Structure 1
Amino acid sequence: MKKLLLPALLLLAGVARGQNNAVKLDIFQPVLNTLAISFEHKLSESSSFQMNVAGTFGYTDGESFGFYGTGYDEITTSGFALTPEYRLYLSEKHPALEGFYVAPYLRFQHLSQSGSDYSGPNSGRFESSLNAFGLGVTVGRHWIFKQRFSLDAYFGPGYAFTAVSSDTPGYTPRKGDFIGYSNNLNYDIRGGLTFGVAF
């Protein structure tokens, strides 16, 4: 019994000090058939490191203009994104993993598309891909409830360098054909709301 007492007391002391890790799921990403999971680890009383991994699985976009003319395309998008970030917590009242923070980040994303164009004599399948490398900064607020549950909201600007390509003859892909990208802008807004478990 005495052998179990010391580890139990150390465990309780660790809980009293606060949580050092959190695993979180983005609440809104499933709307785009995307699963986004974040793991945050406390580095010091005022900083942490977070890695976000996201996967898009067969998001289907409905009608649009076909590349052989006007028509109905069923475009399916899949891919992944990796977003490491460093978080600097600003509150003196709360240690890291809780409170307001500023977070510079890097981001790599790969997306692939496939679809069908049903219009014109050359109707058929097309495929394209996008690779993007970006960076930016977010501001946010992280709450820890009952020393167990995590709620994290963040928002901020970013900039992305992108390249699009396709092996389909006669099809020239555009950056704006992909989810979250615009033909005329390299700037974007990154935001989210996550819920998870702290430990």
Structure 2
Amino acid sequence: MKKLLLCAVTALIFFNAKAQEVKSTIKINPLSALLSTGSVFYERKVNEGMSVQLGVAYTGVKLDDTKFNGLAITPEVRFYIKKHAPTGMYAAPFLKYQNYTISDHTDKGSYTSFGGGALMGHQWVYNSGFTLDLFFGPSYNNGKYKATIGTDEPDIKGGIEGFGIRTGVAIGFGF
């Protein structure tokens, strides 16, 4: 009888337990690895309808004959449509700062840019804490190149300069 009562009380506690509210997530974008880039995002809930996120990425990508090495920082503010941050559909303006060393066969220099854009996305945070974030939107970056070897500016393209698309799939953990 004691075992049955203990099992019943344990089951009641287990089934009535409320999941802890997720206030933060930490995520990575596994698709960025296809471009020789590693990116990490930290998101923090501000209130029911809003969160802030900071993304940091390091790249060593090569586009055609041009190699980019360096860091990008992307802060954003997320506005959740149904006011259940950090879960659900959101709209997010973002800024982006990039600082790269750029080189091709004959020239080398540094490139610094500043830009921004807007995203639409949807984030799921499961009871286990697993987080899945899908996002997509336009961006624009404008920067300056300063030569250290040679005089020609390497070809800067691929969404690093000018108009581009910011898209991704981020996976991680909510706590």
TM-score (norm 1): 0.73
Looking at structure 2, the residues matched to 59 and 87 of structure 1 have their Cα atoms a distance apart, in angstroms, of 28
2:169 aligned with 1:190, yes or no? no
What is the root-mean-square deviation in Å for CA atoms of aligned residues?
2.2
Other structure's SS at 2:149 match: coil
Matched with 2:99 is 110
| Identical amino acids, percent of aligned pairs | 30
Matched with 2:9 is none
Cα offset for 1:17?
4.7
Cα offset for 1:61?
4.5
Other structure's SS at 1:31 match: helix
Looking at structure 2, the residues matched to 84 and 51 of structure 1 have their Cα atoms a distance apart, in angstroms, of 4
One-letter amino acid matched to 1:177: I
2:88 aligned with 1:86, yes or no? no
Matched with 2:4 is none
Other structure's SS at 1:157 match: strand
Report the number of matched residues: 161
Looking at structure 1, the residues matched to 136 and 61 of structure 2 have their Cα atoms a distance apart, in angstroms, of 24
One-letter amino acid matched to 2:141: A
One-letter amino acid matched to 2:40: I
Matched with 2:153 is 173
Can you give the 5+ residue segments of structure 2 that lack an aligned partner in the other structure?
Answer: 1-12
Cα offset for 1:168?
2.0
Looking at structure 2, the residues matched to 61 and 158 of structure 1 have their Cα atoms a distance apart, in angstroms, of 19
- CA separation of 1:106 and 1:18: change in aligned 2, threshold 3 A: same
Task: Tell me if the contact between 1:19 and 1:147 (Cα under 8 Å) persists in the aligned partners.
Answer: no
TM-score (norm 2): 0.82
2:116 aligned with 1:135, yes or no? yes
Task: Tell me if the contact between 2:93 and 2:117 (Cα under 8 Å) persists in the aligned partners.
Answer: yes
Within-5 A mapping of 1:142-157? 142-157=123-138
Looking at structure 2, the residues matched to 54 and 195 of structure 1 have their Cα atoms a distance apart, in angstroms, of 15
Looking at structure 1, the residues matched to 62 and 56 of structure 2 have their Cα atoms a distance apart, in angstroms, of 21
Matched with 1:96 is 85
Matched with 1:3 is none
Looking at structure 2, the residues matched to 147 and 96 of structure 1 have their Cα atoms a distance apart, in angstroms, of 17
Looking at structure 1, the residues matched to 57 and 118 of structure 2 have their Cα atoms a distance apart, in angstroms, of 18
